[in-house]
Amino acid sequence: MKNYHVYIMASLSKVLYVGVTSDLDRRVSQHKLGTMHGFTSRYRVTRLVHSEHFGNIRDAIEREKEIKKWRREKKVALIERDNRSWKDLAEDWVDAGDNE
Protein backbone atom coordinates (compact mmCIF):
# COMPACT_ATOMS: atom_id res chain seq x y z
CA MET A 1 0.00 0.00 0.00
CA LYS A 2 1.36 3.39 -0.99
CA ASN A 3 1.61 6.16 1.60
CA TYR A 4 0.74 9.80 1.00
CA HIS A 5 1.40 12.80 3.20
CA VAL A 6 -0.06 16.25 3.50
CA TYR A 7 2.57 18.44 5.09
CA ILE A 8 3.20 21.97 6.23
CA MET A 9 6.64 23.53 5.93
CA ALA A 10 7.59 26.82 7.59
CA SER A 11 10.42 29.32 7.53
CA LEU A 12 12.00 30.69 10.70
CA SER A 13 9.72 33.73 10.30
CA LYS A 14 6.75 31.33 9.98
CA VAL A 15 5.98 31.72 6.28
CA LEU A 16 3.88 28.61 5.52
CA TYR A 17 3.70 26.17 2.61
CA VAL A 18 1.18 23.30 2.36
CA GLY A 19 1.90 20.36 0.06
CA VAL A 20 1.14 16.72 -0.68
CA THR A 21 3.61 13.96 -1.59
CA SER A 22 4.02 10.21 -1.83
CA ASP A 23 7.62 10.45 -0.57
CA LEU A 24 7.84 12.74 2.45
CA ASP A 25 11.56 12.12 3.06
CA ARG A 26 12.50 13.07 -0.50
CA ARG A 27 10.18 16.08 -0.62
CA VAL A 28 11.38 17.48 2.71
CA SER A 29 14.98 17.01 1.54
CA GLN A 30 14.19 19.01 -1.60
CA HIS A 31 12.80 21.85 0.54
CA LYS A 32 15.74 21.78 2.94
CA LEU A 33 18.36 21.70 0.19
CA GLY A 34 16.60 24.40 -1.84
CA THR A 35 16.47 22.25 -4.98
CA MET A 36 12.85 23.19 -5.67
CA HIS A 37 13.06 26.68 -7.10
CA GLY A 38 10.21 29.04 -6.39
CA PHE A 39 8.26 30.06 -3.32
CA THR A 40 9.82 27.72 -0.77
CA SER A 41 13.42 28.38 -1.79
CA ARG A 42 12.79 32.14 -2.10
CA TYR A 43 11.34 32.36 1.42
CA ARG A 44 13.60 29.65 2.93
CA VAL A 45 10.69 27.42 3.89
CA THR A 46 12.76 24.51 5.21
CA ARG A 47 11.17 23.33 8.46
CA LEU A 48 8.64 20.48 8.54
CA VAL A 49 6.15 21.55 11.22
CA HIS A 50 3.15 19.30 10.49
CA SER A 51 2.31 16.16 8.52
CA GLU A 52 -0.64 13.83 8.11
CA HIS A 53 -0.57 10.31 6.66
CA PHE A 54 -3.09 8.92 4.14
CA GLY A 55 -3.46 5.60 2.36
CA ASN A 56 -5.38 7.09 -0.57
CA ILE A 57 -4.09 9.87 -2.84
CA ARG A 58 -7.58 11.32 -3.35
CA ASP A 59 -8.03 11.73 0.39
CA ALA A 60 -4.60 13.37 0.68
CA ILE A 61 -5.29 15.81 -2.15
CA GLU A 62 -8.70 16.65 -0.70
CA ARG A 63 -7.11 17.38 2.69
CA GLU A 64 -4.37 19.50 1.10
CA LYS A 65 -6.98 21.58 -0.70
CA GLU A 66 -8.98 21.94 2.51
CA ILE A 67 -5.99 23.21 4.50
CA LYS A 68 -4.89 25.56 1.70
CA LYS A 69 -8.31 27.26 1.83
CA TRP A 70 -8.00 27.93 5.56
CA ARG A 71 -7.08 31.29 6.99
CA ARG A 72 -3.59 31.51 8.46
CA GLU A 73 -4.92 31.44 12.03
CA LYS A 74 -6.51 28.02 11.50
CA LYS A 75 -3.30 26.64 9.96
CA VAL A 76 -1.31 27.93 12.93
CA ALA A 77 -3.77 26.27 15.33
CA LEU A 78 -3.37 22.97 13.45
CA ILE A 79 0.42 23.18 13.71
CA GLU A 80 0.40 24.18 17.37
CA ARG A 81 -2.07 21.44 18.35
CA ASP A 82 0.78 18.90 18.13
CA ASN A 83 3.88 21.07 17.69
CA ARG A 84 3.49 24.07 19.97
CA SER A 85 7.12 25.18 19.60
CA TRP A 86 7.18 24.81 15.78
CA LYS A 87 10.04 22.31 16.10
CA ASP A 88 11.40 21.03 12.78
CA LEU A 89 10.03 17.48 12.78
CA ALA A 90 12.64 16.50 10.18
CA GLU A 91 15.68 18.24 11.62
CA ASP A 92 17.65 14.98 11.68
CA TRP A 93 16.49 13.67 8.28
CA VAL A 94 18.86 15.65 6.04
CA ASP A 95 22.32 17.02 6.58
CA ALA A 96 21.75 20.21 4.59
CA GLY A 97 24.01 22.49 6.58
CA ASP A 98 22.66 25.73 7.94
CA ASN A 99 19.93 26.67 5.44
CA GLU A 100 18.49 29.50 7.47
How far are the Cα atoms of 3, 21, 62, 78 from residue 54, in angstroms, in the given order? 6, 10, 11, 17
**∠1-51-97 over CA atoms, to 5°?**
110
Q: Which residues share a beta bridge with 17?
A: 9
Q: Would you say 7 and 28 are in contact if contact means Cβ atoms under 8 Å apart?
A: yes
Q: What is the pLDDT of residue 98?
A: 43
Q: Is 56 exposed, middle or buried (0-12, 13-18, 19+ CB in 10 A)?
A: exposed
Q: What is the mean pLDDT of residues 14-34?
A: 95
pLDDT, tens digit (0-9, with 9 covering 90-100), for 36-73: 889 988 999 999 999 999 999 999 999 999 999 999 99
Fold of the CATH domain 4-82:
GIY-YIG endonuclease (3.40.1440)
- What is the reported pTM? 0.90
Domain spans of the chain, in order of start: 4-82
Rg, the chain, Cα only: 13
